[in-house]
């Protein structure tokens, strides 16, 4: 009875709620679908044929266009016997409908037969955004022309509205200019791993006003793994903040390090040989192939390609804690840095611990 009394004040539906146990079930949630739609554009898609929805869209636009043209012709011949004011209003509506149908039809045609056939997913994504913006501006202009009889009044009204909005929306306008800069100069693209200010993550969306990152690292993690959080920042940040891009197309890799503390009396030759052996087995062959591929590309840039080493290296440095640092440096894809480092440490420690008298790691109270 006491147990029942303890739960009587709770939400009566609480006992029926459960945690979804499959990705498909989670995908059906409204907020999840919205997030998937936001990030769906940059995904690689095969060239597609004309789908049923596309045909319905084009047929609808064509039908509306034909009807609007017919209404305009009937109205221009004044077959309906309307008054001058009504005839002028119907003419504006008919012409506006023609413009709307034509713009939406052209938008769909360009998307299907031009943009969707572009192989580069990033270019396709950006062109679709630009085309949508242009069509939206055209439709807004058509709507204003329908509402205002006098073009001079329409132009003056738009000028005053632009002046007021320019003062009130300085930050969004600057962010829009930042979006244009991102498209023109491509400091980063969808899919790149970047750092801007204190934000680090993979770019999953670049909209007109802001950029969305899938964070890696962060305040709760000490490794380069996804934190599970997203970061949004205005595109205006690109105009006054440096950007670190870890996904440069000419060399989409970074150097990473594993540091171990050893004693001054350690056999440094043995430590270096052991670390290099493990590293070559884990990343050496793949690293050499990567450098071979990109060295010719880097030779065409100001980067000194001779400094791009084809194999892992080991060097030593005096640490501030009275020990030596044995540092293994290797090349890795930025999105694999955490996993590769973990694999190397798991293989390095047994190999070095096999000869403790030659390595002399810090231990007990001597750490």
Mean local confidence (pLDDT), 172-180 = 86
The pLDDT of residue 83 is 78
Q: Residue 125 and residue 118: Cα distance in Å, rounded?
A: 10
C-alpha torsion angle, residues 119, 125, 127, 133 (rounded to 10): 160
The pLDDT of residue 34 is 55
Calculate ∠ Cα 71-111-50, nearest 5°.
Answer: 85
In percent, the amount of the chain with pLDDT more than 70 equals 72
C-alpha torsion angle, residues 35, 41, 42, 47 (rounded to 10): 140
Yes or no: say if 274 and 351 are a contact pair by the CB < 8 Å rule: yes
Residue range 229-252, pLDDT digits in tens: 999 999 999 988 999 998 877 777
Burial class of residue 211 (count of CB atoms within 10 Å of its CB; 0-12, 13-18, 19+) = buried
Indicate the class that CATH gives domain 180-245: mainly beta
Band of the pLDDT at 200, cuts 50, 70, 90?
A: very high
Residue range 116-150, pLDDT digits in tens: 877 767 677 777 878 888 888 888 877 777 766 55
280 has a pLDDT exceeding 50: yes
> What are the domain boundaries of the chain?
52-168, 180-245, 254-366
Q: To which residue do tokens 């679709």 refer? A: 128
The pLDDT of residue 21 is 52
Band of the pLDDT at 19, cuts 50, 70, 90?
A: very low
Q: Residue 203 and residue 238: Cα distance in Å, rounded?
A: 14
Q: Residue 225 and residue 218: Cα distance in Å, rounded?
A: 9
3-state secondary structure the chain: CHHHHHHCCCCCCHHHCCCCCCHHHHHCCHHHHHHHHHHHCCCCCCCCCCCHHHHHHHHHHHHHHHHHHHHHHHHHCCCCCCCHHHHHHHHHHHHHHHHHHHHHHHHHHHHHHCHHHCCCHHHHHHHHHHHHHHHHHHHHHHHHHHHCCCHHHHHHHHHHHHHHHHHHCHHHHHHHHHHHHHHHHCCCCCCCEEEECCEEEEEEEECCCEEEEEEECCCCCCCCCEEEEEEEEEHHHHHCCCEEECCCCCCCCEEEEEEEEECCCCCHHHHHHHHHHHHHHHHHHHHHHHHHHHHHHHCCCCCCHHHCCCCCEEEEEECCCCCEEEEEEEEECHHHHHHHHHHHHHHHHHHHHCCHHHHCCCCHHHC
Structure tokens at 137: 């501006």
Q: What architecture (CATH level 2) is domain 254-366? A: 2-Layer Sandwich (3.30)
223 has a pLDDT exceeding 80: no
The pLDDT of residue 304 is 55
3-state secondary structure 106-161: HHHHHHHHCHHHCCCHHHHHHHHHHHHHHHHHHHHHHHHHHHCCCHHHHHHHHHHH
């Amino acid at each position: 009875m006491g147990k029942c009394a303890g739960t009587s004040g709770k939400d009566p539906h609480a006992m029926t709620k459960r945690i979804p146990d499959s990705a498909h079930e989670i995908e059906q949630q409204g907020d999840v679908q919205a997030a998937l739609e936001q990030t769906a554009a940059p995904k690689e898609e095969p060239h597609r044929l004309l789908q049923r929805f596309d045909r319905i869209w084009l047929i609808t636009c064509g039908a509306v266009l034909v009807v609007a043209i017919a209404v305009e012709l009937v109205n221009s011949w004044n077959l309906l016997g309307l008054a001058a004011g009504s005839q002028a209003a119907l003419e504006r509506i008919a012409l506006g409908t023609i413009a709307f149908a034509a713009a939406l039809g052209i938008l769909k045609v360009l998307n299907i037969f031009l943009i969707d056939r572009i192989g580069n997913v990033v270019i396709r994504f950006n062109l679709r955004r630009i085309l949508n913006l242009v069509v939206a501006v055209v439709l807004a202009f058509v709507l204003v022309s329908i509402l205002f009889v006098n073009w001079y009044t329409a132009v003056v009204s738009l000028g005053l509205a632009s002046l007021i909005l320019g003062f009130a929306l300085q930050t969004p306008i600057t962010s829009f200019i930042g979006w244009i800069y991102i498209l023109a100069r491509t400091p980063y693209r969808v899919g790149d791993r970047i750092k801007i200010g204190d934000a680090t993550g993979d770019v999953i969306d670049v909209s007109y006003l802001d950029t969305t990152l899938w964070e890696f690292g962060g305040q709760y993690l000490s490794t380069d793994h996804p934190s599970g959080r997203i970061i949004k920042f205005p595109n205006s940040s690109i105009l006054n903040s440096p950007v670190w891009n870890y996904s440069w197309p000419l060399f989409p890799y970074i150097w990473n390090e594993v540091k171990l503390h050893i004693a001054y009396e350690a056999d440094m030759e043995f430590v270096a040989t052991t670390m290099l052996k493990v590293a070559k087995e884990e990343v050496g062959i793949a690293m050499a192939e990567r450098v071979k591929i990109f060295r010719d590309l880097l030779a065409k840039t100001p980067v000194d390609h001779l400094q791009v080493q084809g194999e892992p290296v080991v060097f030593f440095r005096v640490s501030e804690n009275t020990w030596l640092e044995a540092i293994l440096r290797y090349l890795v894809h930025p999105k694999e840095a955490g996993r590769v480092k973990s694999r190397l440490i798991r293989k390095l420690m047994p190999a070095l611990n096999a000869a403790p008298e030659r390595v002399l790691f810090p231990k007990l109270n001597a750490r």
